[in-house]
Structure 1
Amino acid sequence: MQPKRIKYYLLGLFITGMILFIVLQFNSAKNIRKLISGNEQLLQELNVKNEMQKLQTNMAKTDSKVRGAVISRDTLHITGIEADIAVIRADLKEINKMVKNDSTDKLLTQLNYLVDEKNNFNMLVLDTFYSTGKMAAEKMINNQRGKRLGEAITGILHQLDTTRQTEVNRTANLIDTSGQKAQSWGSVLVLFACLTSLLAFLYITSRIHKQEQLIEALDESRQQEKKLAAVKDQFLANMSHEIRTPMNAVMGFTHLLQAQPLNERSQEYVSAIAGAGRNLLEIINDILDISKIESGMMRIEATSFSLHGILHALYTMFRPKAEEKHLQLTVTIDDQVPDLLYGDGMRLTQVLVNLTSNAIKFTSEGAVDIHVACIKAAGNIVRIVFTVRDTGIGIEPAKLDSIFDRFNQAEASTTRKYGGTGLGLTIVKQLIELQDGTITVESKPGAGSTFKVELPYTPGEFLPENGEGSYAEHDPLPLHPDVWLLVAEDNRMNQNLLRHLLTSWQLQYKVVNNGKEALQAIEKQHFDLVLMDIQMPEMDGYTAVQKIRHELHSNIPVIAMTAHAMAGERDKCLQMGMSEYISKPIQEDDLYRLIQLYTGKSATQTLPAYQHYTSENGTPHLIRMQYLQDLSKGNKAFEKNMLEQFISQLPEDLSLLKNAITSNDVAAIRATAHNLKTTVSFTGLEIHLYPILEQLEHIDENNYNAAAVTELFNTLKQLCLQAIQEAIDIIL
């Protein structure tokens, strides 16, 4: 049955049920009203009967008083006779009002006449008694006229009572009939209500059952969707790894070839290889960015950045390409636009690079203009408008709405003629929306295109130009030759590339093929740094670094080298115990700086390096000050203040966690463990405490093991107490 027809059937049943309910209620109410009316009539008849009895009693009482006064010549009996006569008349008047109708009209007339005659007779007897004497009064009493009047009144009252009794019987029958009908209709109404309730209950339970089935199907669908998403992510991760691993070697050896003396043709070939490699990496990055955004793993990380610096870098990047096509590239900024902004500068750069690249790509002659303006918003929010205008091929108006769709370009021939995946504008639009911004486009075929991007920012903080811990890209930092590195890498080409790089930097190193060999090497020899691939045979990088931290109890810096460039990979590496993360293809400048940073051995200057504190008994300290020192920029008072807060906050969090464990409050355990991660993060305790806190944060309420949780807490407590003591020692 179709859903629309079901709705109509349900509506019809509802209306029919309501009509039936109204009819039942109407009939039931009608009979109840009859029952009430009959009861009122019956009460009225009883009142009439009572009034006639009172009339008869009062008249007999008056006769008795008159006779007593005459016979005994006692005038005390006469007292109140007039009042009694007034009462009799009032009773008669009340009877007239209560029983007056067509059938009793004649009887009432006779009754009124006889009662008046009876009252007049009594008054006449009294008057005779007073004026003539006892004998005359007795004579009047004995002539039987008063007696006949009394008997006549009694007869009339009896007739009235007989007439009213018939009405009483009719009313009683009406009451019985109405009561039975009311009871019957009430029973039908109750039965109907019960039946309706039962049907409604059955219908609701059936709908609930269907809803539960739908929920189960939806849950199953979601689980399937999650599995498919995991399969997709794993596929993209594997694709990224499988492509980036050989590309690492291709790009690395291409860079080495470019540094060698080559003839003109060979240099051309090598440049072509390098360009093709960069293009391939751009395509891979576009696909991975789309995957990150769709999976909700793309994070907007706000920091202070220089807008002029980003635009200068953008101009420097695209000027050679514009000059190559004889295009005029201009970047202009309104005076009121602030330089320092707080937001995601990296994503802004990605947006502008994509739009500028497209503008230059699709423009054969003319100019590409980038203009930046400012719109004031509420509070301290400023909305920056970026306008990228070109004089290129333009876009048909009918196709403007579809250019932001994935794998879609304005013309089918665009991909063949200009290249690209058709993902660039899709990524741009989604990145802008992630930052609560908007993008619009205006274009005409042959007249160029204008893209306007509006993004909200807040004023940024001062950025040091060359402060402690900052590095200029053009200023290489020489390494000390006494650095020993351990390289765990199973790919031979990558091994050769790393051998060449490390040898050219005059570093000592040892290469192993998997995590198991890396553990054996660390047990036998001291190393300053480990370069650890993630995906290796026998023992992968994750397992190896956990054994390094928990079994060997070593704080040696470990840098993850992985071709997995998916969202969350860096966080996973750091959570597992890695010190840093670098993706393949490895950029030699990035690797060089990481080695310089984490070995802390510079031939020319001291860097904020990975610090190894040791206690008096020679055991390695847990606290790492690197992150805090990077934040402080040499401000020792700031570092001391943060450590003092750490010393006071950590025991409080531990106490809350202990109370939650004691009361078996799983929700509180999870929440407190999550908060503890924040408390310990800036002191470098992630390596030691995060694995424990992660287990506490994700304990299963259905499989709660109190003993295991208590054991985890005891381990955590010992580490935290050691960390607190270390913080106190650092402050002192």
Structure 2
Amino acid sequence: MQPKLIKYYLLGLFVIGLVLFIVLQFNSAQNIRKLISGNEKLLDELNVKNELQKLQTNIAKTDSKVRGTVISQDTLNITGIEAEVAVIKADLGEINKLVLNDSTEKLLTQLNYLVDEKNNFNVAVLDSFYLKGKWSAERMINAQKGKRLGEAINVILHALDSTRQTEVNHTTHLIDTSGQKALNWGTIMLFFACLSSLLSFLYITSRIYKQEQLIEALDHSRQQEKKLTVVKDQFLANMSHEIRTPMNAVLGFTHLLQQQPLNEKSREYVASIQHAGENLLDIINDILDISKIESGMMRLEPVSFSLRGMMHSLQLMFQPKAQEKLLDLSVHIDAGVPDILYGDVMRLTQVLVNLVNNAIKFTPQGQVTVRVSPVGGNESGIRLLFTIADTGIGISPNKLSTIFDRFNQAEADITRKYGGTGLGLTIVKQLVELQHGTISVESELGKGSTFLVQLPYTQGELLAEGTELSGYSQEHFTLPQQPDIRLLVAEDNRMNQNLLRHLLGNRQLHYQLVANGQEAVNALSKQHFDLILMDLQMPEMDGYTATRKIREELHSNIPIVAMTAHAMAGEREKCLQTGMNEYLAKPIREEELYRMIQVFTGKSSTPEHYVHPHPHNGYAYNGESSLVQLEYLQQLSRGDKAFEQNMLTQFVTQLPEDLSMLKKAIDEEAATDIRRTAHTLKTTISFIGLEAHLYPILESFEHLEVNYDKALVSDQFNTLKRLCVQALQETLQLLF
């Protein structure tokens, strides 16, 4: 049976049941009415019988008084005879009203006549007694006329009684029949009522059971959907990590190769490699963004920011790319637009970066213009219109309605010619709607496009600058006449601390370095910072706990960027769910670090000097058998040999300490300490390119269960120790 027809079958059954109930109720009511009518009729017959008996008794009583008066000559007996006669006439009149019908009309006529004659006779006897005396009255009595009249009256009364008895029997039978029918129909009604109640109960119970099954199945489906979503997100996070690592290496080597003398053909090949690598990273970022939005993990983090500072950074970011294509890139902000706004500057930057990047990509010549203007507002807020116009290839009118759909680009050859996933505008639209804004596009094929984005903001207030970052035992670095960016860095690994000192110092940034999450919370409660770089695995208090305290106890919306060497799937999403704003994988990439600082602070910073990295820096490689690879360290150092020497020296010092701590944890069979020390070791060995050889072993330690195979762990540690000793020997050869 089709589900759509069930309701019609149920409606039909309901109508049939209703009609059946009405018929049963009608028949039952009819029989009850017959029963009531029969009872009333039987009561009337009983009244008739009673009246007949009263008439017969009163006639006999009157005769008796008349005879007694004549015989005893006692006139006292005559008292009330007139009243008795009147009662007899009244009884006769009542009988006439109750018994009058076709079958008794003749008998009633005779009865009326005889009763009148009987009354007249009695009156005549009494008159004769008064006038002529006793003998005259006795003679009338002895003439037997009164006796004959009395006998005739009794015959008539008996006939009437017989006739009424037949009616009584018929009425009694009718009452019995109607009562039995009423009882039967009542029983049938009771049976159908019980049956209907039972069927209704069974139906309702079955529907409730099916509904519970559906709810249970729905819950199970939701749980499965959540699990699948988690699996998908974990897969995307894991794959992004696995793809990013080699792609960053490809782009890094491409950057190094571009610094070398190349002929025209080689330079073209290198440029193609760089372009393809950047496109691949863009695709990965787009997939991660759309996944994060759809899974509900994209959260708004409103802060006070400088609109003009952010737009200036945006222009600086895209100016080289525009100049490369000989495009005129201009940014205009109307005078009526306030500078300090309160909103999610990161999401705004992401929207504008995507739209400006598309405008430059699809504009072969001409200009790209970005304009910010107010379109409405009140005392508490303002609505801004961001207009991104270009003179590029444009969009055909029939494609405008689908331009924001996922995996969709305006023309079929766009992807082949310009690349991309077709997700960029989908992400932009969802980010705009997430901020309660609107986006639209106006375009004409061959004449360019104009994207119109409206977003609401409230006017922000400048955050207090706080006191100078001093009075702490932790190290901080400041130089004058640089962007006023204040960073809080929570990192316990000494090599990472040195790296961050080097990277942040190159950009002349203000920063304060702390060794654990508790120190980070304490520092934030006393000072103002623009951004926190938060390691996840730290002693005393880890990064997750520190973030929760910052969000829940300090009620701070300061941007927090997680730093971790975890390659586990879903680690990035876990960071976002905890309250962090972004995820930075270790080993830390210089450009990625600077990009996040710029995006989250809305400010830009430029290094005081730039030294092109040297591909060898005086270090010799030991060929394919060498474990130590210095490409990453050289990219970070930008030719600073003292920094490289310092990092290598610290590696030689710290690696034996970390190995010793890991050996101690294994000997004590402390799974928690093994996992924590293995995570620390991953950071230590990442600076000299040991990830490919040692990460598999260290990740198996990181995922160690409580009931682990001790012999297998011991064998893995011996392998790890052997490779670390070889790496130490190679590093020592490089140092000396």
Fold-level match, TM-score > 0.5? yes
Determine helix, strand or coil for the equivalent of 1:40.
helix
Relative to structure 1, is the Cα distance of residues 393 and 110 closer, same or farther in structure 2, using a 3 angstrom cutoff? farther
Relative to structure 1, is the Cα distance of residues 444 and 179 closer, same or farther in structure 2, using a 3 angstrom cutoff? farther
Q: Deviations over 1:607-635 (max 9, x none)?
A: xxxxxxxxxxxxxxxxxxxxxxxxxxxxx
Relative to structure 1, is the Cα distance of residues 594 and 21 closer, same or farther in structure 2, using a 3 angstrom cutoff? closer
Give the 5 Å matches for 1:307-706.
Answer: 307-318=307-318, 321-322=321-322, 324-327=325-328, 329-333=330-334, 335=336, 340-364=340-364, 365=366, 368=369, 370-375=371-376, 383-457=383-457, 459-464=458-463, 466=465, 474-475=482-483, 485-487=493-495, 501=503, 541=537, 560-561=564-565, 568-570=573-575, 582-583=584-585, 586=588, 588=590
Q: Is the 1:52–1:95 Cα contact (8 Å) retained in structure 2?
A: yes
User: Residue 462 of structure 1 aligns to which amino acid in structure 2?
Assistant: E
Q: Is the 1:319–1:329 Cα contact (8 Å) retained in structure 2?
A: no
Normalised to the residue count of structure 2, the TM-score between the two structures is 0.61
Normalised to the residue count of structure 1, the TM-score between the two structures is 0.61
Give the 5 Å matches for 1:86-485.
Answer: 86-126=86-126, 136-137=136-137, 139-247=139-247, 278-318=278-318, 321-322=321-322, 324-327=325-328, 329-333=330-334, 335=336, 340-364=340-364, 365=366, 368=369, 370-375=371-376, 383-457=383-457, 459-464=458-463, 466=465, 474-475=482-483, 485=493
CA separation in 1, counterparts of 2:19 and 2:189? 12
CA separation in 2, counterparts of 1:444 and 1:547? 51
Greater CA drift, 463-472 or 325-334: 463-472
Query: For this pair of structures, how many residues does the alignment match?
Result: 545
Q: Is the 2:576–2:582 Cα contact (8 Å) retained in structure 1?
A: no
User: Residue 229 of structure 1 aligns to which amino acid in structure 2?
Assistant: T
Structure 2, unmatched stretches of 5+, are 470-477, 509-531, 546-560, 598-736
Q: Percent identity?
A: 65
Determine helix, strand or coil for the equivalent of 2:494.
strand
Q: Is the 2:311–2:331 Cα contact (8 Å) retained in structure 1?
A: no
Determine helix, strand or coil for the equivalent of 1:297.
coil
Shift of 1:98: 2.2
Relative to structure 1, is the Cα distance of residues 175 and 454 closer, same or farther in structure 2, using a 3 angstrom cutoff? farther
Relative to structure 1, is the Cα distance of residues 312 and 60 closer, same or farther in structure 2, using a 3 angstrom cutoff? farther
CA separation in 2, counterparts of 1:548 and 1:398? 49
Q: Is the 2:368–2:388 Cα contact (8 Å) retained in structure 1?
A: no
Shift of 1:116: 3.2
Partner of 1:615: none
Q: Deviations over 1:477-527 (max 9, x none)?
A: 8999xx9952479xxxxx9x8797599899xxxxxxxxxxxxxxxxxxxxx
Q: Is the 2:572–2:583 Cα contact (8 Å) retained in structure 1?
A: no
Shift of 1:356: 3.3
Structure 1, unmatched stretches of 5+, are 490-494, 507-529, 535-540, 550-556, 596-732
Determine helix, strand or coil for the equivalent of 1:372.
strand
CA separation in 1, counterparts of 2:312 and 2:133? 147
Q: Deviations over 1:326-346 (max 9, x none)?
A: 3464535483x6555443332
CA separation in 2, counterparts of 1:368 and 1:477? 28
CA separation in 1, counterparts of 2:452 and 2:505? 49
Shift of 1:251: 6.2
Relative to structure 1, is the Cα distance of residues 29 and 254 closer, same or farther in structure 2, using a 3 angstrom cutoff? same
Q: Deviations over 1:105-156 (max 9, x none)?
A: 1112222233333344444455555566665555545544333333322222
Partner of 2:515: none
User: Residue 462 of structure 2 aligns to which amino acid in structure 1?
Assistant: L
Q: Is the 2:368–2:390 Cα contact (8 Å) retained in structure 1?
A: yes
Greater CA drift, 92-101 or 12-21: 12-21
CA RMSD of aligned residues (A): 5.0
Partner of 1:704: none
Q: Is the 1:532–1:561 Cα contact (8 Å) retained in structure 2?
A: no
CA separation in 2, counterparts of 1:172 and 1:235? 91
CA separation in 1, counterparts of 2:486 and 2:330? 37
Relative to structure 1, is the Cα distance of residues 70 and 450 closer, same or farther in structure 2, using a 3 angstrom cutoff? farther
CA separation in 2, counterparts of 1:118 and 1:278? 139
Greater C-alpha Rg: 2
Determine helix, strand or coil for the equivalent of 1:421.
coil
Greater CA drift, 406-415 or 460-469: 460-469
